[in-house]
Amino acid sequence: MTEAAYRIRGATGEWEVVVGLEVHAQVTSNAKLFSGAATAFGAEPNTQVSLVDAAMPGMLPVPNRECIRQAVRTGMAIDAQINKWSRFDRKNYFYADLPQGYQISQLYHPLVGEGAIHISLDDKNPDDATKRIGVERIHVEQDAGKLMHDQHPTQSYVDLNRSGVALMEIVSRPDMTSPAEAGAYLRKLRSILRYVGSCDGNMEEGSMRADVNVSVRKPGDPLGTRTETKNVNSVRFVMAVVEQEALRQVTALEAGERIVQETRLYDPDKNVTRSMRSKEDAHDYRYFPDPDLLPLELDDAFLEECRASLPELPDAKRRRYEALGITPYAAAVLTAEVEAARWFDALLETGAKPVAAANWVTSELFGALNRIGKDIEESPVSPAQAGELLGLVADGTLSGTLAKQVFEIMLETGQGAGAIVEERGLKQTSDTGAIEKVIADVMAANEDKVAEYRSGKDKLFGFFVGQTMKAMGGKANPGVVNDLLKKALG
């Protein structure tokens, strides 16, 4: 069964899953949306709170230009409509961690309108199985604070450090129809945000989280009643929510129950969703335009500056790599994370051959980093050092086997490849005299196999290559060895 045809098989037949995601992404900026307070993660409670964030009387919000700029750049990165005129609204509700008694958001006139994100459903052939997921809007809003229930046996404490932190709410269309599509969408969105630099995408720290809307229906039927599972903080959990919530709804419907539009929470330990509260509609929040804030009006110069500041984005970078001869799979792997793509670009700038470089990075480098538990930003080997190593392979100084040895030494010592080769005498030899002598010794020690080879057992050629390379400690040029062996064996 293909992912495009993901179905849940119930007692009454097949059911289709419909998924939409509302992703809250914390904007990368030096201050909050309407105040100058800091936003560093992990600060002591209530140490990053301005008078505006604490809703002290008479305090007026002032929009942070950088937060607006980052949201606009994000919209441009997904080819979305940028609304030159937008407005802030108050979303009214009462909660202990919301000091104002309302949240400043954008309901009626968002900053960014419709766009799209293109996902791939086949890692091996990313160009063959793409799907367009519509994005309905991106609006900016302020975050609430946080209730802390584990600090006291009978009381809950309030931490306002997150109060007023700038969020982009990125609302998808209900275009996803499987857990895999939801996971691919979230990974792609996270990648784009990190390329743009508008959000660090750190889901563990809460700077990116998803509300997962799920409904089920019989194929061809109208949309069913949806539930919303709040604040899911990993791609794996989002996929689990889609799967478990869809199964729960199918089971309930087939038992004759009705699906209630509600807000739910995900329990990762038990892998279930739990009811939290009935789902509110917009009118329950009594939205109205914020009287303290003028509408946002963006001029052409601001928009041009935003567009000019965009980097090469993942899809464009992947196409560029493919045009260099790199396989679609390797290009997709290299562009999935912005740090890896930057590292690889720096390697190409050293003059490394693209295909050889891509193969080396995706196999040797990524394998080594995984083994030692480091990210590419922490790589003990720099792009310049990798370029030197690959250059020594390209010019015949190192064989593939020797290059692996040199790379291991580079990982341990941080030394450059050239220095290691000179210091440890690891240079590949193409000295025909020395290689011919070793070949003669190998043939003399294996006269029976020489006779077998000459009688037609061609597969023994690999045995002679291996013995010769072993005798020379892997330092013989394999091409020269092959040529001389063919002559010697006749």
Dihedral of CA atoms 353, 358, 359, 363 in degrees, nearest 10, equals 140
- What would the mean pLDDT of 163-168 be, rounded to a whole number? 97
Q: Is the pLDDT of residue 348 over 50?
A: yes
Q: What would the pLDDT profile of 72-86 be if each residue is shown by its tens digit?
A: 999 999 999 999 999
Query: With helix as H, strand as E and coil as C, how does 91-123 read?
Result: EECCCCCCCCCEEEECCCCCCECCEEEEEECCC
Interval 357-381: pLDDT, tens: 999 999 999 999 999 999 999 999 9
Span 207-212, mean pLDDT?
96
| Statement: residue 158 has pLDDT above 50 | yes
Residue 137 above 80 pLDDT?
yes
Look at residue 121 and tell me whether its pLDDT is greater than 70.
yes
Contact yes or no for 172/122 (Cβ under 8 A)? no
Mean pLDDT, residues 396-405 taken together = 85
Please state, in angstroms and rounded to a whole number, the distance separating the CA atoms of residues 234 and 226.
21
Mean pLDDT score, 428-450: 82
pLDDT at 344: 98
Question: Which are the contacts of 322, defined by CB distance < 8 A and separation ≥ 6?
Answer: 328, 331
The DSSP annotation for 448-473 comes to HHHHHHHTT-GGGHHHHHHHHHHHTT
Chain CA centroid to CA 154, Å: 41
pLDDT band at 1 (very low <50, low <70, confident <90, very high): very low
Specify whether the CB–CB gap between 273 and 266 falls below 8 A. yes
Give the whole-number percent of the chain exceeding pLDDT 90: 76
Say what the pLDDT of residue 3 is. Answer: 47
Instruction: Report helix, strand or coil for 403.
Output: helix
| Mean pLDDT to the nearest integer, 483-489 | 86
Q: Which two tokens stand for residue 165?
A: 């932190």
User: What is the mean predicted confidence (pLDDT) over 100-109?
Assistant: 96
pLDDT bucket at 4, cuts 50 / 70 / 90: low
Q: Which residues pair with 79 in a beta bridge?
A: none
Mean pLDDT, residues 23-48: 95
Categorize the per-residue pLDDT at 434 as very low, low, confident or very high, splitting at 50, 70 and 90: confident
Check residue 432 and give its pLDDT: 78
Rounded-to-integer distance, Cα 212 and Cα 336, Å: 23
Mean pLDDT of 326-355: 96
Rounded Cα distance between 185 and 208, Å, is 14
Please tell me the distance from the alpha carbon of residue 409 to that of residue 319, in angstroms, as a whole number. Answer: 34
pLDDT in tens, 290-318: 999 999 999 999 999 999 999 999 999 99
- Of the pLDDT bands very low, low, confident and very high (cuts 50, 70, 90), residue 53 is very high
Helix segments in 197-287, DSSP class H = 235-254
Q: Per-residue pLDDT for 341 more than 90?
A: yes
Q: Which range (114-118, 167-171, 442-446) has the least confidence?
A: 442-446
Helix (H, G, I), strand (E, B) or coil at 440: helix
| Residue 472 binned pLDDT confidence (cut-offs 50, 70, 90) | confident
